């Protein structure tokens, strides 16, 4: 069970309680502790959190008209937000950033992602490869820099990281944001500390950021403390945060030092990095819909897919517009993440995978239809058309009939939503 699922299950249990008393709160806290410890949140953090929840819940009463579950959810939400710290708003200014971390943290990929993040916001950016210990580190960062369309500097074969950093600063002096990727190790040993200190002295970074992988759980907290003691970090980037199940590492890392989580990596693509928003992060753990992010993701996907916004017409719903939506959906990332933004994080994994497979198949089937068939699904009741489409798409006639059946159900739901004033505004916003 992942952290988000555990938290949501604990809240679901308390929603069935008729009385919220000391016994109920303590039983609820046991469920919370179990969920958080299973997800590798550090023990002291777990007991500190549940103690605060118990004190707040027992010393106050829900306001009139507020359900006990909603009241407890709000307390849990507030305490978790305090635990992970404040949200981060990146400063768009000239700066040097030193990245550090151990093997497997995703540090090199993060260097390119971060450079692209700033360059997409109007600042010229470049990366320096100061990883002199890992084979192919030079080639990897050079390739990633090309993908991100940012400048790259490295000295292949050079073993003096400080020398590379100095030369890189000169080579990229016209860039507003320069990110230095350093060597990693299996552990923070004296050799790595010495190398980091020498690069730090030459590079004189404005920010020293530790990159940790969310899937290492409690070790994230220990790593953060060790690096902070050695080099005094100014922030943390948590990678592989493409699911709420990996929240334990982020919680532990956020509390491990005075440094806060600055960014999180949410996928493998160069665009899959975002500044850390504690409210959004905790909301995803608790299953609270994030409509704002969903709208942003839809609009970004529509633009990336090269779709004319006029094609996303909320006044009609046919196979053509459905096909357009499927193209945009492909650009939105894993379906599980999209469902999470809608507050539907607990859909069974096999159901999500089956849905992804079905949608991919539907896209192929629709592509095999004629224009008139896409505009008028009633034509698809003819057996000869179904047979031709199935043959052209490499699917079965049953697959085509299933698409038509599902489409008709969606069309009914769409028409109901379209007549709802608030939903109409939302749909218009998503298609804008």
Q: What is the CATH number of the domain that holds 402?
A: 1.10.260.30
Final residue before a domain boundary, out of 84, 108, 125: 84
What is the Cα–Cα distance from 339 to 284, expressed in whole angstroms? 10
The tens digit of pLDDT for each residue in 282-309 reads 877 776 654 444 445 545 555 555 555 5
Final residue before a domain boundary, out of 49, 84, 119: 84
Mean pLDDT for the stretch of residues 262-268: 87
302 with 331, same domain: the answer is yes
What is the Cα–Cα distance from 206 to 123, expressed in whole angstroms? 16
**β-strand partners of 112:** none
What is the Cα–Cα distance from 424 to 432, expressed in whole angstroms? 12
The tens digit of pLDDT for each residue in 137-184 reads 999 999 999 999 999 999 999 999 999 999 999 999 999 999 999 998
Give one word for 263, left, alpha or beta, with left for phi > 0 and alpha for psi -120 to 50.
Answer: beta
User: Do 200 and 208 form a contact (C-beta atoms < 8 A)?
Assistant: yes
What's the pLDDT at 359? 77
> Residue 309: inside a domain, yes or no?
yes
113 with 152, same domain: the answer is yes
> Residue 336: inside a domain, yes or no?
yes
> Residue 360: inside a domain, yes or no?
yes
What's the pLDDT at 7? 82
Which domain CATH number covers 26? 1.20.120.140
280 with 357, same domain: the answer is no
Which domain CATH number covers 178? 3.40.50.300
300 with 271, same domain: the answer is no
Distances (CA, A) of 98 to 74, 377, 393: 37, 57, 50
User: Do 171 and 196 form a contact (C-beta atoms < 8 A)?
Assistant: no
136 with 217, same domain: the answer is yes
Token output for 327 = 């193209």
Query: Strand, coil or helix: what is 403?
Result: helix
User: Do 107 and 100 form a contact (C-beta atoms < 8 A)?
Assistant: yes
Q: Find, among 5, 26, 54, the residue nearest to 285 by Cα.
A: 5
279-312 core/surface letters (b: 16 or more CB in 10 A; e: else): bbbbbbbbbbebeebbbebbbebbeebebeeebb
218 with 358, same domain: the answer is no
Query: What is the residue-averaged pLDDT of the chain?
Result: 79
295 with 263, same domain: the answer is no
40 with 131, same domain: the answer is no
What's the pLDDT at 244? 44
Residue 256, classified by CB atoms within 10 Å of its CB into exposed (0-12), middle (13-18) or buried (19+), is: buried
CA dihedral (37, 40, 44, 47) in degrees, to 10, reads -30
> Residue 241: inside a domain, yes or no?
yes
Is pLDDT above 90 for 9?
no
What is the Cα–Cα distance from 281 to 288, expressed in whole angstroms? 10
Stretch among 76-85, 255-264, 398-407 having the lowest mean pLDDT: 255-264
201 with 74, same domain: the answer is no
- Give 332's DSSP letter: T
What is the Cα–Cα distance from 128 to 169, expressed in whole angstroms? 8
Rounded to 5 degrees, what angle do the CA atoms 273, 275, 276 make? 115
246 with 130, same domain: the answer is yes
Task: Provide the domain limits for residue 418.
Answer: 291-431
Confidence of residue 378 (pLDDT cuts 50, 70, 90): confident
65 with 186, same domain: the answer is no
Confidence of residue 347 (pLDDT cuts 50, 70, 90): very low
What is the Cα–Cα distance from 209 to 357, expressed in whole angstroms? 39
129 with 50, same domain: the answer is no
Domain count, the chain: 3
Torsion sign across C-alpha atoms 336, 340, 343, 347: positive
Residues 6 or more apart in contact with residue 115 via CB below 8 angstroms: 125, 126, 127, 145, 148, 150, 177, 179
Final residue before a domain boundary, out of 237, 268, 286: 286
User: Do 100 and 209 form a contact (C-beta atoms < 8 A)?
Assistant: yes
Q: Residue written as tokens 């992010």?
A: 293
> Residue 197: inside a domain, yes or no?
yes
414-431 core/surface letters (b: 16 or more CB in 10 A; e: else): beeeeeeeeeeebbeebb
> Residue 90: inside a domain, yes or no?
no
Mean pLDDT for the stretch of residues 112-122: 96
Confidence of residue 431 (pLDDT cuts 50, 70, 90): very low
What is the Cα–Cα distance from 339 to 349, expressed in whole angstroms? 12
Q: Give the total residue count for the chain.
A: 432
> Residue 89: inside a domain, yes or no?
no
Is pLDDT above 70 for 210?
yes
> Residue 108: inside a domain, yes or no?
yes
The tens digit of pLDDT for each residue in 18-72 reads 677 888 888 888 988 888 888 777 788 888 889 998 888 888 776 666 676 777 8
């Amino acid at each position: 069970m992942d952290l988000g699922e555990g938290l949501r299950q604990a809240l679901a249990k308390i929603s069935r309680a008729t009385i919220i008393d000391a016994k109920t709160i303590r039983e609820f806290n046991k469920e919370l502790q179990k969920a958080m410890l299973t997800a590798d949140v550090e023990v002291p953090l777990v007991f500190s959190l549940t103690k605060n929840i118990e004190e707040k819940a027992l010393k106050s009463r829900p306001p009139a008209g507020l359900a006990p579950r909603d009241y407890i959810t709000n307390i849990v939400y507030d305490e978790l937000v305090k635990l992970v710290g404040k949200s981060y708003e990146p400063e768009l200014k000239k700066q040097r950033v030193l990245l550090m971390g151990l093997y497997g943290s995703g540090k090199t990929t993060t260097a390119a992602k971060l450079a692209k993040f700033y360059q997409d916001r109007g600042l010229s950016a470049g990366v320096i490869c100061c990883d002199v210990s890992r084979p192919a580190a030079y080639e990897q960062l050079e390739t990633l820099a090309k993908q991100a369309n940012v400048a790259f500097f490295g000295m292949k074969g050079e073993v003096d990281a400080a020398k590379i950093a100095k030369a890189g600063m000169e080579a990229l002096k016209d860039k507003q944001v320069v990110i230095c990727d350093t060597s990693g190790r299996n552990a923070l040993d004296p050799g790595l500390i010495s190398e980091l200190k020498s690069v730090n002295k030459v590079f004189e970074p404005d920010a020293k950021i530790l990159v940790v992988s969310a899937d290492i759980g409690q070790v994230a907290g220990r790593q953060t403390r060790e690096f902070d003691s050695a080099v005094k970090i100014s922030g943390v980037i948590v990678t592989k945060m493409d699911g709420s199940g990996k929240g334990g590492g982020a919680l532990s890392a956020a509390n491990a030092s005075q440094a806060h989580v600055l960014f999180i990596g949410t996928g493998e693509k160069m665009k899959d990095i975002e500044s850390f928003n504690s409210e959004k992060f905790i909301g995803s753990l608790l299953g609270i819909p994030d409509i704002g992010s969903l709208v942003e993701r839809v609009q970004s996907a529509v633009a990336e897919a090269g779709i004319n916004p006029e094609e996303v017409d909320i006044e009609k719903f046919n196979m053509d517009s459905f096909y357009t939506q499927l193209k945009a959906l492909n650009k939105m990332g894993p379906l599980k993440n999209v469902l999470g933004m809608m507050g539907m994080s607990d859909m069974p994994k096999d159901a999500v995978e089956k849905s992804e497979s079905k949608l991919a198949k539907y896209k192929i089937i629709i592509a095999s239809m004629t224009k008139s068939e896409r505009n008028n699904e009633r034509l698809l009741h003819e057996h000869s058309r179904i047979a031709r489409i199935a043959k052209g798409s490499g699917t079965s006639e049953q697959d085509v009939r299933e698409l038509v059946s599902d489409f008709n159900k969606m069309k009914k739901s769409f028409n109901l939503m379209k007549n709802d004033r608030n939903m109409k505004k939302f749909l218009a916003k998503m298609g804008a």
